Structure 1
Amino acid sequence: MSQQPASAPVPARQPLDEHAAASVRAYAADQRAKVDVLASVLEDIAANGYPSPETGTPWETARDEHLARLAEEPPRVA
């Protein structure tokens, strides 16, 4: 539990420049799209049950395909 009182004042916010705000909005949209995909998969499982293992992709195959895609991308600086 927090030691702060419930009526603690909200600290002032620092505004973002236009480029930073656009980047944050793009990231939010990307994350929202990923969550929407996950939610649709979970809704499908709830409505129809788990998919048959024969129709799925083995995780090793998915891993190898993902690693191949990453290897094709240009290097990035952290």
Structure 2
Amino acid sequence: MSQQSVPAPERQPLDENAAASVRAYAADQRARVDVLASVLEDIAAHGYPAAETGVLWEEARDAHLERLAGEQPRVA
């Protein structure tokens, strides 16, 4: 994704609530990426975890689906 911004006249401004929602979503995504980055850094520093300490993919999937079901709906 480009870091260049579009000139101001070509942009449609957001109202305060929409801007706050976008900022909250960005913060949530940034937190998720930080967690992933820390896991990858741990693997790089210490190697892969033992298989016995892991979670079965079915259990991880089911837990994730439960989390998704409990989240607030979002506008794309």
TM-score norm. by structure 2 comes to 0.72
- 1:53 deviation in Å? 0.5
Alignment of 1:55-66 (within 5 A): 55-66=53-64
Q: 1:68 to 1:32 in 2, by over 3 A?
A: closer
Out of 10-19 and 62-71, give the one that drifted further: 62-71
Q: 1:68 to 1:28 in 2, by over 3 A?
A: closer
Deviation above 6 Å: which 4+ runs of structure 1?
none
Aligned identity (percent) is 72
Alignment: residue pair count: 69
Structure 1: state its 5+ residue gaps: 1-8
Q: CA RMSD in A?
A: 2.8
Rounded Cα–Cα distance in structure 2 between residues aligned with 1:30 and 1:70 = 14
**Structure richer in helix, relative to its length:** 2
TM-score norm. by structure 1 comes to 0.70
Structure 2 counterpart of 1:21, one-letter code? A
Structure 2: state its 5+ residue gaps: 1-5
